[in-house]
Chains A and B, each alone.
Chain A
Amino acid sequence: MQDKPLILVVDDDADFREAIQCLLEAGGYRVTCARNPQDALGALSATKPDLIVTDLMMDRLDAGFQLSRGLKQNNDFAEIPVIIVTAVGSQLGLDVSPRGDDDMAAMNVDAYMDKPVDPDRFLAKVRELLESRGREA
């Protein structure tokens, strides 16, 4: 029997981290958490997760993209799917949201979602991305 897939949640908001963890655990996944990209890289090398869910704006505006791009450059982690979940609005001021598949590929992001997430859509996305990598709950 295969282990349950492991998901790494990166977010600087402890409450949101907890909520996502709860949601994912209810969806049948194992979850580890990190508060910022640096801690995430530490957790990553300790145990390789099957998927990463990360916030965008942490210590800097595009910390989430920084993390996802960094993963792409590392052969060990390049294949891990990344979901960005962010409260950064795209309608005002600077728009950081990716505009298309090219953008997503350039940022090494597999999905981009607004915070808070719709639990059903979020879990469906997680399942879809894991299945595409041959990992199932």
Chain B
Amino acid sequence: MNAEKTRILVVDDELGMREGCRRTLEAEGYEVDTAEDGMAGLELFRRRGGYACALVDMKMPRMGGLEFVENVHAEAPDMVLLVITAYATIDTAVEATKRGAYGYIPKPFTPDEMLLPVRNGLERRALALEAAQLRKERENRLLELAYERSQCATILNCMTDAVFVVNREREVVLRNDAAAKILPDFASLPVPAPLSCLPEVLGGLLAEAMASGATPLIVSKDIELAGRNYMVNASPVAEHGGEPLGAVVVLRDISQLKKLEAAKSMFITMVAHEVKRPLAAIESFLDLICRGMVKDNPEKEREMIERSLARARNLRDLISDLMNITAMQTGKLNIRRIPLDPVGLLQEAVDACSDKAKGKNIELTLNCDQSAGAEKLLADRNGLFSVLTNLIDNAVKYTPSGGRVQVEARRNGASLSILVRDNGIGMSPEESARVFEEFYRANNERTEGIPGTGLGLTLARGIVDLHHGQIAVESAPGKGSVFTVSLPTMGKKQS
């Protein structure tokens, strides 16, 4: 408060009066300016401004008090104007208050007689200013509210979820744009619209949410509308624990999620089936043996035990393949791309399968074109290795004894082509078309008894995809198959 003193202007043509007022007021801590007539006072008021109060003599040369009050009041309505007057001109003083003066001080006066109205006036002024300030704040707040409201409406309409609000009279009083999109018929109705216009499921949920009373209940449900699935949440609208004023419903389109869910349960069904198959074979064989049903045929008994063992191993492979497939589907397969020499990796993959090939008396060869080793691949070592061994393993597996498996590599523009060629059992066009499907295994007299999970090529394709490559098959029954993998190379500069 002290930082800036309250300023008072004293306008009087009598020097003694002016200086007397100044002394008294300054002693009270006010800052005082003086002027010797109305004209000079007005001029000072206009030039310096910022006065809280003016004491004005009524009768002055050039411009009297009345005219001064009129002018100043028009320009600074909150300024406290006090008229100093002799008894003789009290009528004029009354006239002055009509024109905007706050009051008058009859002459002669003691210092206290002068200070009292000054203090009162200033106090009133302060109160008035405060009120004005409050009023202004309230107005700003209103503006803010209006702005907030339009902001809320904008946000509501930008939501992808549909929102409906229902009042206690069971009328829909609000719906956002998404709600209008989901229920186009309803969108054309004016708001408020009766609740009965909404599809029954929605109306029911809203009624349920509203009926929940003081303890707010959130009703959630999956519903179907016009061929799409929605997750619906309904909850009562109430002000802290009061009676519900209505209910709000939010609909979220979960059609995509539902599809994923269905695909996932299908996958799980397939997995359960694939796990039960080897188990069923093992259990059946062992049951027969335990019951002594094959004891007369020791050769058969031994074969059953061996087959059970093979199926048990197959089950273990299946489970590790499943883990890999799941890791791949959830994006958790650890792919760490590093520059790789394709020729070296191919040699390693061929070496890894050579024992199996020898065991079946299959000739396994690697033939890399000169161009193949020129550029490196940016690839995950383990991933690519498993793709290659899978293809070579299949070729050996699905080629009868004495056959031939050839692995080749060559540059093909900006990519490297790896071919795994066999002269084995081959596949029909229908079979080749399905080899990359999860769990698919060709089933015919030629594949009989060959163990496998039907996931090897699914995994291989997944890994090749992660490397932005391609995998394809060409095959003919009885003639053999060629699997081709194409992978982008790094280009000369980096290699």
Residue ranges of A at the interface with B (Cβ–Cβ < 8 Å): 12-16, 18-20, 22-23, 26, 35-36, 57-59, 87-89, 92-94, 115-117, 119
Contacting residue for A23 out of B288, B307, B449, CB 8 A: B288
**Interface: B280 (CB within 8 A):** yes
Shortest distance in angstroms between B304's beta carbon and chain A's nearest beta carbon?
8
Shortest distance in angstroms between B274's beta carbon and chain A's nearest beta carbon?
8
Shortest distance in angstroms between A78's beta carbon and chain B's nearest beta carbon?
27
Tell me the nearest residue of chain A to B292, going by C-beta.
A26
Q: Given A16-B280, A35-B445, A36-B443, A92 and B268 touching (CB < 8 A)? A: yes
Q: Are B443 and A35 in contact, with the CB atoms below 8 A?
A: yes
16 contacts between A and B (CB under 8 A): A13-B277, A14-B448, A16-B277, A18-B304, A18-B307, A22-B300, A57-B273, A58-B443, A87-B276, A92-B265, A92-B268, A92-B272, A93-B266, A116-B283, A117-B284, A119-B291
- Please indicate the chain B residues that have their CB under 8 angstroms from the CB of A116 in the complex: 279-281, 283-284, 287
- Please indicate the chain A residues that have their CB under 8 angstroms from the CB of B287 in the complex: 19, 116, 119
Q: Given A26-B293, A35-B445, A13 and B281 touching (CB < 8 A)? A: yes
Q: CA–CA, A16 to B361, complex, Å?
A: 29
Please count how many residues in chain B sit with their CB below 8 Å of the partner chain's CB atoms. 29
Q: CA–CA, A57 to B454, complex, Å?
A: 15
- Please indicate the chain B residues that have their CB under 8 angstroms from the CB of A87 in the complex: 272-273, 276-277, 280
- Please indicate the chain A residues that have their CB under 8 angstroms from the CB of B397 in the complex: none
Q: CA–CA, A18 to B443, complex, Å?
A: 16
- Report whether over half of chain B's contact residues are helix, strand or loop; otherwise say mixed: helix
Contacting residue for B288 out of A13, A19, A59, CB 8 A: A19
Q: Are A12 and B265 in contact, with the CB atoms below 8 A?
A: no
Which parts of B434-479 form the interface with A (CB within 8 Å)? 443-445, 448-449
**Interface: B353 (CB within 8 A):** no
- Annotate B281-307 by CB proximity to A: 1 below 8 A, 0 otherwise: 101110110010110000010001001
Shortest distance in angstroms between A54's beta carbon and chain B's nearest beta carbon?
14
- Annotate B237-270 by CB proximity to A: 1 below 8 A, 0 otherwise: 0000000000000000000000000000111110
Contacting residue for A35 out of B288, B291, B300, B448, CB 8 A: B448
**What are the 5 closest A-B residue pairs judged by CB atoms, nearest first?**
A93-B269, A19-B284, A93-B265, A87-B276, A15-B281
- Please indicate the chain A residues that have their CB under 8 angstroms from the CB of B269 in the complex: 88-89, 92-94
- Please indicate the chain A residues that have their CB under 8 angstroms from the CB of B285 in the complex: 15, 19
**Interface: B311 (CB within 8 A):** yes
Shortest distance in angstroms between A80's beta carbon and chain B's nearest beta carbon?
24
